[in-house]
Amino acid sequence: MKRRRLGQHYLVDEEAVKGIVSLAAIKPSERVLEIGTGRGALTKVLADLGKSFVGYELDQDNFEATVEAVHGTTARILLGDAFDGTTEFDVLVSSLPYSESANFVQWLSGTRFDRAVVVLQEDFVRKLSAPPGHRDYRGISALAQLCFDVRVLGKIRRASFSPQPRVNSVVASFVPRVRVSGAEVANIVRLFSLRRRRIDSALAELGMEGAKSFGQRRVYSLQSEEVHALCVPVQTE
């Protein structure tokens, strides 16, 4: 029940797993990371690909199941939170708990990597690509559009999971464009907590006054590049 509360739906369709791994196109020289191994469906296919493999899992029972699934391989399975870890990687391949999607994007925005291929809720990926001014445009949208080239590579059938989710899922790729600091991410989150306010008013309230006036424009109209310029922390001597 712990993983269910986290929004986890386990991949059980071998063809779906093979499809995800194929889309990742892992090279023998690459270091691979998986976040949330679940019961090891993806893990056992990924384990012997690439130069090295590390998988993180929070749940003790799932951790033990994954360790058993990759027995005899060189895979390293760690019990803990990958977002708190320091593992360096080139390729990330994961089927994430949907409840961790926003945390994942925020964490990935400050990470050095080549590409990520991740199973996410379709509506969440649509939110990431929402344009400024759209009702779905949020701080996470601005962050994703600034930091990544995000593409939908394919869909995953609901029947590919156990238990079956009530939402649609897609495989999405993230290719990095810009890396940002944790402080900048925090500023973006703060700014978009006032997304309906006039930009000048929101900046003044947050102590983030910009160098120019934005007139009557609202926070939700800001382009990702404008968000970046406004949310870079001021360096002090």
Give the start-to-end residue ranges of the domains of the chain. Answer: 2-179, 183-231
Please tell me the class of the 2-179 domain. alpha beta
89 SS3 class: coil
Q: Count of CB atoms within 10 A of residue 112's CB?
A: 9
Q: Which two tokens stand for residue 225?
A: 């590049």
Q: Count of CB atoms within 10 A of residue 34's CB?
A: 28
Please give the pLDDT value at position 234.
Answer: 53
The ranges of the chain with pLDDT < 70 are 1-7, 210-211, 234-237
User: What is the distance in angstroms between the CA of the first residue and the CA of the last residue of the chain?
Assistant: 50
- Is the overall model pTM greater than 0.85, yes or no? yes
